[in-house]
């Protein structure tokens, strides 16, 4: 069991990129999520256990004997409860390294998702299990549906002060694999993308066309937090290399490849 790494959320966006890196490093992987993957992994080194981190179902079996647990499972609600359940299960399993992915600004943004991530960080840091925590910026893929939707409008609604520093999924996965293969490191530098961009810049770069902006003030504490850049990394952060326009180029390339494959039948 020593060489097996448990990856909660290993079927998700980030998880799907981390698992092959852990396999390439010679480690077996036990994926934990609520649903069996649509296609069973064609690799004997990968197993899957059904469990629910929020409802605390199946976690004893999921973490049994796990020396390293990479906790990626997450959703819009309940991440704090999930982290508390994972922290307890890891302690009971005798885990030697518990790794959490969090989000940049977790302790600063007055939004439920960020608050739950701050509480998750606390649960892991106080678990009694040696730990590492990496806070990452939003992935390019996370912003894509919003940017794609806005790109269809003649004018881009641009909440004042709203900025992002999107990071490439593979760069986050590489860093997480490096952490999981190493020793507990506590809080490691945040990982953000190489540029800080406003919504209008993201939409223009995605659509390749200039769009007039419709500035919309965001009222209240959330607006103040965004204007102050509370969701952004500080100077101590590590920066990825792959930009939003690199990502947009990758999307175009994969659309061409898919089109050619469809034409071949
Ligand atoms: N995407 C971003 O921009 C971003 C940025 C910073 C941090 N993060 C954090 O990184 C983590 C992974 O993000 P992602 O984008 O890869 O997420 P994702 O694509 O939505 O995948 C979520 C994964 O978690 C599993 N999961 C969800 N709820 C679960 C539960 N209650 N019990 C067990 N498994 C559960 C899902 O599988 P099932 O549905 O089968 O359970 C899936 O494998 C999350 O914690 C997220 O908050 C994401």
Nearest residue by C-alpha to atom 28 in ligand 1? 74
**Comparison of pLDDT for 245 and 263, the residue scoring more:** 245
- What average pLDDT does this structure show over 45-67? 97
Beta bridge partners of 52: 57
Q: What burial class does residue 130 get, using C-beta atoms within 10 Å of its C-beta: 0-12 exposed, 13-18 middle, 19+ buried?
A: middle
Section 32-37 average pLDDT: 94
* pLDDT for res 257: 84
Q: How far apart are CA 62 and CA 55, in angstroms?
A: 14
Which of 31, 73, 140 to probe ligand 1 with, by most ligand atoms within 8 A of CB? 73
> Is residue 264 pLDDT above 90, yes or no?
no
What pLDDT score was predicted for residue 1?
Answer: 44
* Closest atom, ligand 1, to C-alpha of 104: 6
Q: Which residue has 């499972």 as its token pair?
A: 73
Ligand 1 neighbour 13 (Cβ under 6 A)? yes
CB 193 within 8 A of CB 250: no
72 lines ligand 1 (CB under 6 A): yes
Mean pLDDT, to the nearest integer, of 147-157?
93
- Asked if 70 contacts 8 with a C-beta cutoff of 8 angstroms, the reply is yes
- Give dist(CA 30, CA 18) in Å, integer: 12
β-strand 163-164 against 197-198: which pairing, if any? antiparallel
* Mean pLDDT of the 206-232 span: 93
For residue 142, the ligand 1 atom closest to its alpha carbon is 3
Confidence at residue 84, expressed as pLDDT on a 0 to 100 scale: 98
Rg (CA), the chain: 19
List, in sequence order, every residue forming a beta bridge with 229; answer none if it has no partner: none
Q: Which atom of ligand 1 is nearest to the CA of 82?
A: 31
At residue 243, the pLDDT reads 98
Q: Is 35 in the pocket of ligand 1 (CB under 6 A)?
A: yes
The stretch 77-88 carries a mean pLDDT of: 97
For the cut 90, the answer to whether the pLDDT of residue 13 exceeds it is yes
Which pLDDT belongs to residue 2?
A: 53
Residue 110 in this model has a pLDDT that exceeds 90: yes
């Amino acid at each position: 069991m020593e060489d097996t790494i448990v990856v909660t959320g290993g079927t998700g966006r980030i998880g799907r990129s981390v698992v092959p890196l852990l396999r390439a490093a010679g480690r077996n992987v036990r994926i934990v999520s609520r649903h069996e993957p649509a296609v069973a992994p064609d690799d004997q080194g990968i197993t899957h256990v059904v469990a629910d981190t929020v409802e605390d179902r199946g976690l004893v079996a999921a973490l049994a004997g796990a020396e390293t647990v990479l906790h990626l499972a997450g959703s819009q609600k309940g991440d704090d409860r999930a982290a508390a359940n994972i922290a307890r299960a890891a302690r009971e399993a005798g885990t030697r390294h518990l790794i959490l992915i969090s989000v940049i600004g977790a302790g600063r943004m007055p939004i439920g998702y960020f608050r739950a991530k701050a509480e998750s960080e606390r649960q892991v840091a106080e678990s009694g299990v040696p730990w590492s925590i990496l806070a990452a910026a939003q992935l390019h893929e996370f912003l894509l549906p919003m940017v794609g939707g806005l790109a269809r409008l003649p004018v881009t609604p641009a909440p004042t002060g709203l900025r992002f520093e999107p990071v490439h999924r593979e760069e986050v996965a590489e860093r997480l694999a490096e952490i999981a293969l190493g020793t507990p490191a506590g809080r490691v530098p945040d990982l953000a993308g190489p540029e800080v961009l406003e919504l209008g810049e993201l939409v223009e770069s995605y659509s390749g066309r200039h769009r007039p902006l419709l500035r919309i003030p965001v009222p209240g504490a959330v607006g103040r937090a965004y204007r102050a850049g509370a969701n952004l990394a500080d100077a101590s952060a590590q920066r990825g290399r792959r930009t939003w326009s690199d990502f947009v180029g990758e999307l175009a390339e994969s659309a061409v490849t898919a089109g050619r494959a469809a034409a071949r039948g």
